[in-house]
Amino acid sequence: MSTPQASSLWKNLLPPAMVGTDKKPLELPVLEGAVGQLLAQLQAQASTPAQALLQAAGVLTVCERAGQRPTAMPNPASHGVAPADALQQALQDKALKDTLRWLFTDAPQRLQIDWLQQMAVAGWRLPATLLPLALDTAQRASALRPAVAAVLGERGRWLARHHSTWRYAAGSADSAPLETRWQEGTLAQRIQLLREERQNHPAQGRERLQASLSDLPAKERAELLAVLQTGLSADDETLLTTLAAQDRSREVRQTARTLLVQLPESAITQAAIARLQPCIVLKTGLRGVSGQRWMVQPPEAADPDWKNHGIDAERPTHERLGERAWWLYQLARQVPLAWWEQHTGMTPEALLQWARKSDWTEALVRAWWEVLRPAPVVAWCLAFLEHWPGKAMQESPAAVLALLSATEREPYWQRTLESIDKPKQGTLEEVVQQIVAAYAPGQYLSEPLSQLLVSKLPLYQPRYYYQLPLADLCCVLHDNALPQLSALAQHASQHEGQPTEALAQALRQQMPVLAARQAIARLPSPSSVAPQGNP
């Protein structure tokens, strides 16, 4: 595509117009702004080069009559007509295309991602008429970009390459040489590259990161360092120990120590255990009670050497913990969870119960949670859920549930739902919010739990249905529960034990979401549909 001269925007249109586009390939001018976007859109959607030529001429004529001279894109690359797509077939079913258009304008984001992922798995691409809408939508919502990129096809990637606002979808990043991706990619792309490398070649990934650390800003160093969680082993101790002691960023030093906690034999972790161990002591015959009991005895004074180990003696002004509790919390967050079990002989459940009875509950719980979050241990997660520490835990149960697999989460929700036997507000709303927060797009509840949850919806307080995230709930329920939900919307009744009118009204607003969910199940495979050209 050529740069338009100041004298005219018609330079590249006249030759193919005179001799025909079959003899002279069409090269439209690359323009900035809305006019350039329209020209590229018309060329992407045109069925023939001749049609693209006529439409472009119409656009430029209107611009001239309006006294507007569009600005040329700097150094545009020649691209000609959008390429055909031999690998993916465009979805052409009218009803499904209408659903797609609605998805990009009104649907919840998790449904957009789910639908596009299912399209990609089935081997479909977006029809050309929806490419600009899809690219614009994903430009505004970065979480949507990977799903959109997977169904753009060659024509969509061609269109993205020639629009500055759509370059994110150009598709060159993943195909570039590995070194180019590392040196020139975005932070998110480098994180993904490093994670993949750590999965297959941990040492190679560590060496790549180590060679780049001195050139990175603190925030990027910390985020990339956290990726060493993947494939973490004793081989990483030397690098982590150096960063924990010497990096100029507090965030990087703390990230390194967090990773070292997961290496119980590392020198830093062993030193941390030695600092904490005198604080957790076994007392005999306490207060006239026979037997022995573990007690918490936080330090009475700060150790001058703490600063060298990432422990702040001075409590921040905004900190809720008292001074000694603040010291205890910092000591405890540098120690593996397994040490507590080994040292006290208590299970995670017993430790949570023990902590609740002490005067240092929040310090212990906060420290345990910080260790648990980056490296989940199922027994500890379940212990937190079964013996919730109340206000001592600043996070919600949803944060703990998110660390578990679907099969590990569902029994907790099932017990909670089964306990609901009369209309009330709080508990059901909490469960729904937890479920929505814990499931990523494309993940669904099991059929039994979905059916149970839908059966409990009529027990929610009628005037509060608007507070429920019903649209997102419709996206995570099992397919076989959707008809039951549709029935609640269609058969409202005020009789006891039946759906309320308030619930029916709230669910009717979600009928497009339910219809789109059900349409996913009807998505045909390209091989079962006769090809309809290459639109």
Extents of the domains making up the chain: 1-81, 94-169, 178-260, 273-395, 406-521
Its pTM stands at 0.69
Alpha carbon distance 337, 53 (integer Å): 68
Read off the pLDDT of each residue in 334-363 and give the average, rounded to a whole number. 96
Residue 534 near residue 90, CB atoms below 8 Å: yes
Query: Does 382 score more than 90 pLDDT?
Result: yes
In sequence order, which residues have a C-beta less than 8 Å from that of residue 134 and are 6 or more positions away?
A: 104, 126, 148, 151, 152, 156
- Helix or strand holding residue 273 (H, E): helix 267-276
Considering 7-21, 195-209, 521-535, the range whose residues carry the highest mean pLDDT is 195-209
Alpha carbon distance 124, 522 (integer Å): 13
Query: Does 174 score more than 60 pLDDT?
Result: no
Tokens standing for 441? 């797009």
Query: Does 151 score more than 80 pLDDT?
Result: yes
Q: C-alpha angle 151/155/161, rounded to 5°?
A: 100
Local structure of residue 251 (DSSP, 8 states):
H
Read off the pLDDT of each residue in 213-238 and give the average, rounded to a whole number. 95
User: What pLDDT digit, counting tens, does each position of 286-312 carry?
Assistant: 555 556 899 999 999 999 999 888 899
Alpha carbon distance 366, 236 (integer Å): 26
Residue 47 near residue 129, CB atoms below 8 Å: no
Categorize the per-residue pLDDT at 331 as very low, low, confident or very high, splitting at 50, 70 and 90. Answer: very high
Mean pLDDT of the chain: 85
Would you state the pLDDT for residue 530? 52
Decide which of 217 and 80 is more confident. Answer: 217
Residue 12 near residue 2, CB atoms below 8 Å: yes
Beta strand 124-125 pairing with 89-90: parallel
Instruction: Report percent pLDDT > 70 for the chain.
Output: 85
Cα within 13 Å of Cα(377), Cβ side: 17
Decide which of 474 and 528 is more confident. Answer: 474
Considering 44-48, 65-69, 102-106, the range whose residues carry the highest mean pLDDT is 102-106
Would you state the pLDDT for residue 420? 86
Tokens standing for 385? 């859920």
Residue 279 near residue 328, CB atoms below 8 Å: yes
Alpha carbon distance 454, 485 (integer Å): 7
Query: Does 454 score more than 90 pLDDT?
Result: yes
Distances (CA, A) of 261 to 120, 203, 267: 40, 19, 10
- Helix or strand holding residue 69 (H, E): none
Would you state the pLDDT for residue 366? 95
Would you state the pLDDT for residue 82? 58
